């Protein structure tokens, strides 16, 4: 939901962002490195003595996430794994409610993808949640036995999810690391410190010196805080040593810029599955452009073994696509498409002021080719 790229900054600020990325990368590498050395069984590792980035200093007893059933390789059915986490209550400021992920067709499909991929993958399972927002997919991943690193520009989202982890989900604290940064072309930006909006960044993200409208919430909180957008290669140095089972990007237009920066990691085989929301009309506001975004998507697709277009509430009006089905995808009436041309897709989404979600698999998805409907 919104942890991508925004307005510019001076050369000095860019250097500062670069330095910040290097500083963040070191403890991250130590955190994951220590975890892997100490745990032969990732679901039962003892990480409570270490402080995951961004989730405070309290130590909690390590309680393994819910046991995940493996998918049946003969049917490809997703593991029907229980999730053992508590989401935000209705009083949380500006966050999406849990029923949104159970009601919206595309979100239902993404939840099903997470359960299938993480239920089918051999350990260690690792997830990167880029644009964490309310934290639903971070908590879902951790509850399914994965280690998660989450990125979010909105400082208030980070505060809310940190509180949710410690107050309601202490058993998941050792499995989730949160960084209050965005990924993409380096920049110093300002974000409101009183909201956790699912649409943050759709109009761009202001630089630290840009004029801003300050709105107060009911409790009187106002103002902005400065944060950074950093190159993934600087923050995620451990990606050269680890394979990420699943990466999710939901950044309200910053995905084109982020995907371009992730290409070396995809080429190196460090990402197995990638789900990204694509909103081409917003790319020019988020450090990219229509031509650059199309090229990034084409290169990602060329590297993939399969690319599937997920259901969207705004129907696709272009013809060159093939409807397929997977037994474990039931959300959105099970609608999935393959064989689509990216140029047709981007033209359609731009004309309709809409977005979409694409699921790329860079490894065998386990169920063979999706069946044509």
Cβ 83 vs Cβ 72: under 8 Å: no
Calculate the average pLDDT of the chain. 77
Which region among 120-129, 226-235, 267-276 has the lowest average model confidence (pLDDT)? 226-235
What's the CATH code, domain 11-41+94-372? 3.40.50.150
Edge-to-edge strand order for the sheet containing 246-249? Answer: 176-179, 147-151, 126-130, 246-249, 273-278, 356-361, 306-310, 336-338, 322-325, 371-372
136-143 helix and 155-168 helix, angle to the nearest 10 degrees = 40
Please give the Cα distance from 281 to 302 (Å, whole number).
Answer: 23
**C-alpha pair distances (Å), 119 with each of 9, 113, 145, 171, 289:** 42, 10, 9, 19, 36
- Look at residue 74 in the predicted model and tell me its pLDDT: 32
Give the residue, 204 or 118, on which the prediction is more confident: 118
342-351 helix and 290-303 helix, angle to the nearest 10 degrees = 140
Give the residue, 44 or 358, on which the prediction is more confident: 358
- Look at residue 76 in the predicted model and tell me its pLDDT: 33
- Look at residue 90 in the predicted model and tell me its pLDDT: 66
Q: Is the pLDDT of residue 275 over 90?
A: yes
Q: Is the pLDDT of residue 339 over 90?
A: yes
How sure is the predictor about 371, in pLDDT bands with cuts at 50, 70 and 90?
A: low
- Look at residue 10 in the predicted model and tell me its pLDDT: 39
- Summarised one tens digit per residue, pLDDT across range 16-71 is 333 344 334 333 333 333 333 233 333 322 222 222 333 332 223 333 444 433 33
- Look at residue 80 in the predicted model and tell me its pLDDT: 39
- Summarised one tens digit per residue, pLDDT across range 213-270 is 555 444 455 588 999 999 988 876 566 678 999 999 999 999 999 999 999 999 999 9
- Summarised one tens digit per residue, pLDDT across range 65-96 is 444 333 333 333 333 345 688 898 766 656 66
- Look at residue 149 in the predicted model and tell me its pLDDT: 94
- Summarised one tens digit per residue, pLDDT across range 300-326 is 999 999 999 999 999 999 988 899 999
Please give the Cα distance from 146 to 167 (Å, whole number).
Answer: 20
């Amino acid at each position: 939901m919104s942890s991508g790229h925004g307005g510019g900054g001076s050369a000095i600020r860019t250097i500062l962002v670069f330095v910040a990325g290097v500083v963040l990368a070191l403890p991250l590498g130590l955190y994951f490195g220590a975890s892997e050395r100490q745990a032969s069984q990732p679901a039962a590792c003892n990480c409570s003595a270490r402080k995951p980035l961004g989730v405070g200093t309290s130590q909690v007893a390590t309680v393994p996430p819910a046991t995940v059933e493996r998918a049946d390789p003969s049917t490809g059915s997703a593991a029907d794994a229980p999730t053992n986490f508590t989401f935000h209550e209705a009083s949380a400021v500006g966050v999406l409610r849990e029923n949104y992920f159970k009601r919206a067709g595309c979100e239902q499909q993404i939840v099903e993808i997470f359960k299938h991929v993480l239920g089918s993958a051999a350990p260690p399972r690792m997830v990167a949640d880029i644009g964490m927002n309310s934290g639903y997919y971070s908590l879902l991943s951790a509850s399914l036995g994965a280690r998660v690193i989450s990125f979010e520009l909105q400082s208030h989202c980070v505060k809310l999810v940190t509180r949710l982890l410690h107050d309601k989900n202490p058993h998941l604290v050792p499995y989730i690391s949160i960084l209050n940064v965005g990924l993409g072309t380096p920049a110093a930006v300002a974000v409101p410190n009183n909201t956790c909006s699912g649409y943050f960044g759709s109009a761009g993200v202001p630089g630290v010196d840009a004029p801003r409208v300050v709105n107060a919430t009911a409790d009187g909180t106002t103002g902005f805080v400065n944060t950074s957008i950093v190159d993934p290669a600087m923050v995620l140095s451990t990606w050269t040593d680890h394979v990420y089972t699943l990466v999710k990007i939901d950044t309200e237009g910053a995905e084109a810029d982020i995907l371009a920066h992730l290409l070396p990691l995809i080429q190196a085989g460090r990402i197995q599955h990638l789900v990204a929301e694509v909103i081409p009309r917003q790319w020019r506001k988020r450090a990219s452009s229509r031509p650059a975004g199309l090229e990034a998507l084409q290169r990602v697709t060329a590297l993939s073994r399969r690319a599937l277009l997920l259901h969207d509430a705004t129907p696709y009006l272009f013809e060159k696509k093939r409807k397929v089905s997977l037994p474990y995808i039931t959300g959105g009436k099970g609608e999935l498409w393959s064989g689509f041309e990216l140029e047709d897709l981007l033209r359609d989404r731009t004309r309709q002021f809409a977005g979409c979600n694409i699921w790329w698999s860079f490894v065998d998805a386990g169920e063979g080719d999706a069946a044509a409907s």
